[in-house]
Amino acid sequence: MNKILLFARLQEKAGQAEVELDAVNKSIAEVKALLKENYQMEEIDTSMVAVNEEYANSDVVVKEGDTIAFIPPVSGG
Amino acid sequence: MNKILLFARLQEKAGQAEVELDAVNKSIAEVKALLKENYQMEEIDTSMVAVNEEYANSDVVVKEGDTIAFIPPVSGG
Amino acid sequence: MNDKFWISEQPLNIQEVVDLVTRREAGAINTFIGTVREFTKGKRTLYLEYQSYVPMAEKKLAQIGEEINEKWPDAETAIAHRIGRLDITDIAVVIAVSTPHRADSYDASRYAIERIKEIVPIWKKEHWENGEEWIGDQKEQKAYPTGHPEEEDLT
Amino acid sequence: MNDKFWISEQPLNIQEVVDLVTRREAGAINTFIGTVREFTKGKRTLYLEYQSYVPMAEKKLAQIGEEINEKWPDAETAIAHRIGRLDITDIAVVIAVSTPHRADSYDASRYAIERIKEIVPIWKKEHWENGEEWIGDQKEQKAYPTGHPEEEDLT
């Protein structure tokens, strides 16, 4: 199983900060597609993705226990 | 009479921070020459001069009561 | 909380951040303080809400410190970013960079704020009298992700 | 002492200077803090002694604030400079500039420190283990007024 973290607008749209999902052996691109479908979150397309707190490309394959975070365009500072 | 203020190395060389001098109707250039002669202060040549707390050119003529300050190259900050 | 790079829910203390980079080798400390501005393009902000992916954000702040040391090996950097609700004039971020000479302190400090706006997972929600919105994509100066992006000022 | 531009014989308080420029219109505050560095070109400084023509220096600091407002009309500036004996890491100068947006705060703050080194009547005497000397002409990076000028770092 994997923990999926959502922030900012994505979090509000999903109505939760965290989703449990089995994404093992799926690519980040596949996980994106899955979430986009399940939650109607077009914003996912313009979000970056972090696996275990580090930015990851779409072709990275998820392993058991990985934490996946969707990072909408940031606005700190 | 006029008050002449000296700072930094000029002050140390003169052994005093302040000199009383009658510089009325003299130009700043003349006051410079006078001080240079009386105190062997070649550094006067590379100093700026302020009259009444404002930078002044060599051709400015001193009036009664003016305060003249010799400003060696500054090094604040 | 990292020793020199952290996210805080409490008000930030400028002196505390500066103290972390003060040292005998440095003659210059540049500090950038980001505060909550009331008006952006004529629109009045009531308050801001900052959210962060805290452990990753602290790592990314530390990474910015490392990037600075690659570019300016003599620099020492500390960065604190506040999250939660912030009112007008509250401090959102404090960056302090010390270097032996002043030019580098300005350049490295500027580099830090630009990188924060690029890579650190922190989000700002603006609350106005008539609505609220998560702001994003500040480097391109537009609000995200409305259909037709509204121009947003950079802090 | 001017309200926002002053010379002090007491230790400077960064927060106090920042408070003077904090306001609802500003989203950015850049602060430059000049500290006493131990080594300059391998030569060890024990302490510094700053002297100033105080009333004129305060006027010139205020003039720098006016010059900044000509170039950056939205900026608010405060500058404090300490005089007397300063030890290593002590703060000699604190500049704070607030602006609506960050780029201007950096540029205006940098402008301020450069102008201080040009026009404000403050002098620094370096005390080393084997001597002492009034430093001058920092913009040209040489000590003044020795016969053969020694290279001096800019702070």
pLDDT tens-digit readout, C82-97: 999 999 999 999 999 9
What fold characterizes domain A2-71? Answer: Ubiquitin-like (UB roll) (3.10.20)
DSSP states of C6-66 as a string? EEESSPP-HHHHHHTT--TT-SEEEEEEEE--SEETTEEEEEEEEEE-HHHHHHHHHHHHH
H helix runs in D9-138, sequence order: 14-19, 54-71, 102-119
* Region for C51 from its dihedrals, namely left if φ exceeds 0, alpha if ψ lies in -120 to 50, beta otherwise: beta
Structure confidence at residue C2 (pLDDT): 60
Angle between helical axes of C102-119 and D102-119 (0-180°, round to 10) = 180
Contact yes or no for D56 and B7 at CB 8 A? no
Mean predicted lDDT score pLDDT of chain B: 94
| Cα C99–Cα C103–Cα C104 angle in degrees, nearest 5 | 45
Q: List pLDDT tens digits, range A23-67.
A: 999 999 999 999 988 888 888 989 999 999 999 999 999 999 999
The token pair at D55 is 């009333």
**Alpha-carbon gap, residue D19 to A55, rounded angstroms:** 38
Sequence spans of domains, chain B: 2-71
A54: β partners:
A51
Which two tokens mark D132?
């002492």
Averaged pLDDT of chain D: 89
DSSP C70-139: HH-TT-EEEEEEE-EEEETT-EEEEEEEEESSHHHHHHHHHHHHHHHHHHS-EEEEEEETTEEEEE--GG
Name the residue facing A7 among C118, C121, C138 (closest C-beta): C121
Does the structure show a pLDDT above 50 at B32? yes
Please report, to the nearest 10 degrees, the dihedral formed by the alpha carbons of residues C97, C99, C102, C103 taken in order: -80
Q: For the whole model, what pTM was predicted?
A: 0.91
Whether residue D29 and residue C33 make contact (CB cut-off 8 A), yes or no, is yes
Residues of C in contact with D112 (CB under 8 A): none
Q: Is the pLDDT of residue A70 over 60?
A: yes
Across A7-71, where does the E strand assignment appear?
Answer: 18-21, 48-51, 54-56, 67-71
Pairs of CB atoms within 8 A across A/C: 88
Domain architecture of chain C: domains with CATH: 5-146 (3.90.1170.40)
Of C52, C72, C49, C48, nearest to C60 by C-alpha is C52
- Give the ipTM of the model, two decimals please: 0.92
Query: What pLDDT digit, counting tens, does each position of C97-143 carry?
Result: 999 999 999 999 999 999 999 999 999 999 999 999 999 865 544 44
Residue among C53, C56, C135 minimizing CB distance to A75? C135
